[in-house]
Structure 1
Amino acid sequence: MKQLIECVPNFSEGRNMAIIKQITDQVESVEGVRLLDVDPGAATNRTVVTFVGEPEAVLEAAFQAVKKAAEVIDMRYHKGEHPRFGATDVCPLVPIAGITMEEVAAYARKLAERIGKELGIPIYCYENAAFTNERRNLANNRSGEYEGLPKKLADPHWKPDFGPAEFNERVATTGATAVGARDFLVAYNVNLNTTSTRRANAVAFDIREKGRPVREGNPVTGKIKKDENGKEIWTPGSLKACKAIGWFIEEYGIAQVSINLTNISITPVHIAFEEACQKALDRGMRVTGSELVGLIPLQALLDAGKFFLAKQQRSLGVSEEELIKIAVKSLGLDDLKPFNPKEKIIEYLLSNPGDKKLVSLSVEGFANETASESPAPGGGSVSAAMGAFGVSLATMVANLSSHKAGWDERWEEFSAWAEKGQKLKDELLYLVDEDTRAFNKIMDAFGLPKGNDDEKAARDLAIQEATKYAIEIPFKVMKCSLESMGIIKAMAEIGNPNSVSDAGVGALAARSAVMGAYLNVKINASGLKDQDFLNKIMSESDEIEKKVISAEQEILQLVNSKIK
């Protein structure tokens, strides 16, 4: 899976669009980065910019944006309602897909160090990138704001993590910047069948982590109670990492609970929805649906789809498209207006609509493309496709078994098999296109110039690297297809007996996928010079082929014994 991170820098300019555009132009100039949103605020004199991409590209875009902001924003003249202490006030990185928080924190520190060294800006690392617990809290780092920087920088306790520890002429214009790593924030509204802001607020206070103050007498208008230290006493709400408030939306004529989920790994969207439903019901109201403000990671909706399927005791081993459909309908995301996953899911928004994938073709289209005079797709892609069909048949048997009348108590057992099958199917579908891309890399390498010794050496290296990759891809097809035999065998043994022949066909397809992919390994191996690599791959491939033939025979014997 491709690694994706989001960057959400806040710049201390929200009124002059020409200045803002100079900064965002720097973001858009970096290849591999997609600018998703630019949100200026005149009152705060602050602009929130959102862009995403692979880590190194995002770091470069962030650096260039911070550099430009330091050139075009002079903090000596900045005024605004929002707390701030620098031209680039904060620059958080957020994990989106295929990357851990620990990895993102390391990237944040790398960015912080570069900004501090190359741009001469004091940098404080916060949240998951912080070096001390005290500095995890952004408010601590930004205390005193820009006006307090001379005193702050002179205090050894507040020496920046990177960059100068003095309020020099440059820092007087740039201010300081907080660079951090935090979880994805989801802005999410739950729709209620009421027009009452008070009632919506009551639900919001029930669920938000902060909760509500404890009052004397009347729970709404009474005086707030305080402890012996004079601190207000609050009763926390039911959800962690959740901020919420009630409001009335004139456009829709309803009240909503407006929610910010600051860490969806702690409180996922579907849990917030379920809790709001229950609290609303307790107060005589009903949730009619919900609304997603901004973007959401794909995994959040996949998790929601699986959650609601599990509540129905249905198999979780269904396609990505089906999981998203279940999530949208269960959360009521299309209650107020149509919900288009391609416009709301970050990974979909980042995909290139111009990419032509073999797996997106119809079966007829794929067959026609294979039959054309083009050398790709070839046997490698077709082998991966056979493997995908083979494990898909086993997954179908698992899903049918999960929903078979009289087998209700076994739904989780078969759901687990179906989930394994879906994972292998998705990997093999990816390899269908990746095998063709690997072939194209070889062709590109052979097309490199060879006019002098340096060009010849570079060309030879590129050919060898491309050839090795063209061996690795069909080898992955072999491994995935062999692994699928475990699912196929289980479905032949314990699955719905009416579908046992489907398991048998799955075994035939998986066996053919392995043997076909092995032919591609062999033919590509002829051009590789790395003998140690070849010896290892060929030895493992021989073993895989033997195992898959044995597994096929065992499965077919079992299948035939059941259908006689």
Structure 2
Amino acid sequence: MPKQMLVCCTLFISESRNPAALESIERAAKLFPEVPIINNFPDDSYNRVRYTLVSHFTTDPSNPSPLRNAVFSMVEAALDAIDLELHSGTHPRIGVVDHICFHPLSQASLDQAAHLANSVAADIGLKLGVPVFLYGAADERGRTLDSIRRELGYYKPNAIGNQWSGGVEPESLQLEPDIGPSQAARSKGVAIVGATQWVATYNVPISSTDIAGVRRIARQVSSRGGGLASVEAIALAHGEDTIEVACNLLDPSRVGADQVQLEVERLAREEGMKVGNGYFTDLSPEEIIENYLKLGFLD
């Protein structure tokens, strides 16, 4: 294990079909070579991309964290290159930069990850004029990502085919943001920024067009529906004849992907549906650290 403190950032951008926009975002990250993009996971159906960055954490106030600077640079590029009013996809979103989360890795603490989250949130809200909502260790109240999303109407499709399309309606901001203006620009939306321990994302495909049936499965899998502890799940259309049970594993050491897969298969049998093999949308923390070290970033 490395001796330096490492912090990871997962950054979700509402775009995957515009190569020029993605190139601009990735070019912004390359301005900070000490902050590599360890994983890049675009999804065309969802029209969404997940970037995973990692870097060392510095406690020197005169030397701002390179991770903070790299993330802000990518956010700024995304807001310049993407118009949410032109966006459509089968994954919910409420902003061009929909979600940012910082996770402590080697030697780093959750408080240090939260410090970075708060710094980036302030930059986005005050310098870029985007309303920002805080969650997890970055929020004094300890609000969850899910609770904020629900209050903002995040999970309600607004277009035919269970799609999310167009800009954010001003009236959708039922909550007062923690940082930044109280109204969101339709073309930019809002950002949700937090800090937590590692969250694994695991999606299970089901061969079906019955969105109501897969929603029943997703609810029964989730802890909210009385299913598996520390699991959040949502049913999302993914192509013409597939619906995914997209899961956040909030404590993957407690409830892992194998348990989720088996439970989805059990519930799908009751619905008469065929289930495919699930997949992670990111590397594990151990793989992230290993890949970072392979790039030569070691004190």
Q: Calculate the TM-score normalised by the size of structure 2.
A: 0.67
Kindly provide the amino acid, as one letter, of the partner of residue 179 in structure 2: F
Corresponding position: 1:64 with 2:73: yes
Distance 1:173 1:258, change over 3 A: closer
Question: Could you tell me which of 164, 171, 187 is aligned with 1:173?
Answer: 187
Q: CA deviation at 1:70?
A: 1.0
The match for 2:35 is 33
The match for 1:162 is 179
The match for 2:229 is 240
Query: Secondary structure at the residue paired with 2:25?
Result: helix
Distance 1:151 1:16, change over 3 A: same
Question: Could you tell me which of 121, 134, 146 is aligned with 1:112?
Answer: 121
Q: CA deviation at 1:30?
A: 0.8
Distance 1:38 1:129, change over 3 A: same
The match for 1:143 is 153
- The CA deviation string for residues 248-298 of structure 1, in whole angstroms up to 9 with x for no partner, is xxxxxxxxx998532235x165xx769999xx9xxxxxxxxx998442223
Identity percentage of aligned residues: 26
CA distance in 2, matches of 1:152, 1:259: 25
Kindly provide the amino acid, as one letter, of the partner of residue 164 in structure 1: P
Corresponding position: 1:17 with 2:26: no
The match for 1:129 is 138
CA distance in 1, matches of 2:190, 2:258: 39
Q: CA deviation at 1:185?
A: 2.5
Contact residue 167 and residue 187 of structure 2 kept, 8 A: no
The match for 1:200 is none
The match for 1:482 is none
Contact residue 261 and residue 278 of structure 2 kept, 8 A: no
Contact residue 36 and residue 292 of structure 2 kept, 8 A: yes
Q: CA deviation at 1:124?
A: 0.9
- The CA deviation string for residues 343-398 of structure 1, in whole angstroms up to 9 with x for no partner, is xx22111114558x9xxxxxxxxxxxxxxxxxxxxxxxxxxxxxxxxxxxxxxxxx
Q: CA deviation at 1:72?
A: 0.7
Query: Secondary structure at the residue paired with 1:94?
Result: strand
Corresponding position: 1:346 with 2:293: no
Distance 1:99 1:133, change over 3 A: closer
Contact residue 10 and residue 91 of structure 1 kept, 8 A: yes
Kindly provide the amino acid, as one letter, of the partner of residue 58 in structure 1: L
CA distance in 2, matches of 1:297, 1:139: 25
Task: Give ranges in structure 2 of 5+ residues lacking alignment.
Answer: 58-64, 157-165, 204-216, 235-244, 266-276
Question: Could you tell me which of 271, 275, 283 is aligned with 1:295?
Answer: 283
CA distance in 1, matches of 2:170, 2:51: 28
- The CA deviation string for residues 401-421 of structure 1, in whole angstroms up to 9 with x for no partner, is xxxxxxxxxxxxxxxxxxxxx
Task: Give ranges in structure 1 of 5+ residues lacking alignment.
Answer: 190-203, 212-233, 246-256, 281-289, 299-344, 358-433, 435-564
Larger radius of gyration: 1
Contact residue 6 and residue 95 of structure 1 kept, 8 A: yes
Kindly provide the amino acid, as one letter, of the partner of residue 143 in structure 1: G
Q: CA deviation at 1:152?
A: 4.5
Query: Secondary structure at the residue paired with 2:102?
Result: strand
Kindly provide the amino acid, as one letter, of the partner of residue 81 in structure 1: T
- Please list, as runs of the form range in 1=range in 2, the aligned pairs for 1:192-231 lying within 5 A after superposition: 210=223
- Please list, as runs of the form range in 1=range in 2, the aligned pairs for 1:276-355 lying within 5 A after superposition: 293=280, 294-298=282-286, 345-352=287-294
CA distance in 1, matches of 2:52, 2:68: 13
The match for 1:264 is 252
CA distance in 2, matches of 1:112, 1:176: 11
Kindly provide the amino acid, as one letter, of the partner of residue 12 in structure 1: S
Contact residue 141 and residue 178 of structure 1 kept, 8 A: no
- Please, what is the CA RMSD of the aligned residues? 3.8
Q: Say which structure is richer in helix.
A: 1
Q: CA deviation at 1:140?
A: 3.1
Distance 1:173 1:353, change over 3 A: closer
Larger relative contact order (Cα-Cα within 8 Å, sequence gap ≥ 6):
2
Contact residue 229 and residue 255 of structure 2 kept, 8 A: no
Contact residue 120 and residue 164 of structure 1 kept, 8 A: yes
CA distance in 2, matches of 1:133, 1:186: 20
Q: Calculate the TM-score normalised by the size of structure 1.
A: 0.38
Contact residue 125 and residue 132 of structure 2 kept, 8 A: yes
Q: CA deviation at 1:126?
A: 2.1
- Please list, as runs of the form range in 1=range in 2, the aligned pairs for 1:473-484 lying within 5 A after superposition: none
CA distance in 2, matches of 1:258, 1:163: 30
Q: CA deviation at 1:141?
A: 5.3
CA distance in 2, matches of 1:176, 1:60: 20
Q: CA deviation at 1:116?
A: 0.9
- Please list, as runs of the form range in 1=range in 2, the aligned pairs for 1:310-459 lying within 5 A after superposition: 345-352=287-294
Corresponding position: 1:53 with 2:67: no
Distance 1:177 1:352, change over 3 A: same
Corresponding position: 1:97 with 2:106: yes
Contact residue 134 and residue 140 of structure 1 kept, 8 A: no
Contact residue 5 and residue 56 of structure 2 kept, 8 A: yes
